[in-house]
């Protein structure tokens, strides 16, 4: 969305792409499950679970990067390049 906005916020898209690299270190394991339809309400319940595997260093790197981005925005330390 940001890449298509005008004017293009280069600073923010660059920073968020760097943050995404930290999130990409989290491993996601999904298990499919049974999908059921409740006959009374007609609501479909999709079964399955997801597990997220990460270490403290990964969470700390996400926290640090997100804090850095926030600080730059709040302190108006935004650059156009």
Residue 15: count of CB within 10 angstroms of its CB: 19
User: Band of the pLDDT at 41, cuts 50, 70, 90?
Assistant: very high
Contact criterion met (CB below 8 Å) for 52 and 26: yes
**Residue 32 has which token pair?**
């499919």
Per residue in 53-64, pLDDT (tens digit) is 999 999 999 999
Is residue 15's pLDDT more than 80? Answer: yes
């Amino acid at each position: 969305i940001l890449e298509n906005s005008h004017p293009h916020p280069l600073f923010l898209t660059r920073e968020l792409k760097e943050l995404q690299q930290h999130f990409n270190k989290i491993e996601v394991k999904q298990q499919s499950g049974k999908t059921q339809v409740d006959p009374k309400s007609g609501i479909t319940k999709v079964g399955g679970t997801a597990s997220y595997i990460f270490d403290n260093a990964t969470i700390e790197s996400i926290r640090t990067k997100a804090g850095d981005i926030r600080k730059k925005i709040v302190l108006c330390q935004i650059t156009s390049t």
